[in-house]
Amino acid sequence: MGKYFGTDGVRGRANEGLTLEMSIKIGQYLGWYYGKEKHAKILIGKDTRLSGDMFELGLAAGATSMGAQVYLLGVCPTPAISYLVRKERFDCGIMVSASHNPYYDNGIKCFNHNGEKMEEDLLLEIEAYMDGNCTINLATGDHIGEYFNWEDGLEIYMSWLKEIVPVDLEGYHIAVDLANGSATSTVVETLDSLGATVEAINNSPNGININTKCGSTHPE
């Protein structure tokens, strides 16, 4: 493990252990690293935490300042990033999430082009840039990148889920606890399309109620 990147990315309290400046630096280095010969193509997703917008846009700003083409998937489960990076041939993917932690925490997890955890050597390079131990040149003129709200991304992911679980759930009544988190974007629609009657609880995220007395840490 490095100085900032642990076993599951960078994590910390928003604007304390994990800052906007850090997200910009991470976005910049990835945009530069994958954009040496072409515009890098980077996918970014997030969960429902209040600070998610800030870090999502910080990463996007950093990456586009280095010439990257950034696709914002919005609220999505982490596996959606892993799958879509590989299927749609992104150079890398980034998920803004702190899993089961409280809303005031957040994290940044990076995936390589295969949708797998990013290589340790590259993460150490990012850390060196974050600490000011190396410099890179910003894009200028028409080399500056841009970002897009990728509205079709979740549909592609949900279609894949239905393909790998080709079952008819007609007649099944399924209860799901969505923890007011990232699964609120996909679970009910996917199960409903397979024929199930879905009873969802904790399905109204407001930025601060993710994992609050619900989800995997509160099975009661």
Contact 81, 43 (CB under 8 A): yes
Residue 99 catalytic? yes
**Catalytically annotated residue among 99, 193, 204, 216:** 99
Contact 69, 40 (CB under 8 A): yes
Distances (CA, A) of 76 to 49, 128, 209: 12, 30, 16
Question: HSE-up of 98 (CA within 13 Å, CB side)?
Answer: 23
DSSP letters spanning 15-62: TTTB-HHHHHHHHHHHHHHTTSSS--EEEEEE-S-TTHHHHHHHHHHH
For the chain, how many residues are written? 220
- Nearest Cα neighbor of 113 from 96, 95, 88 is 88
Active-site residue set: 99
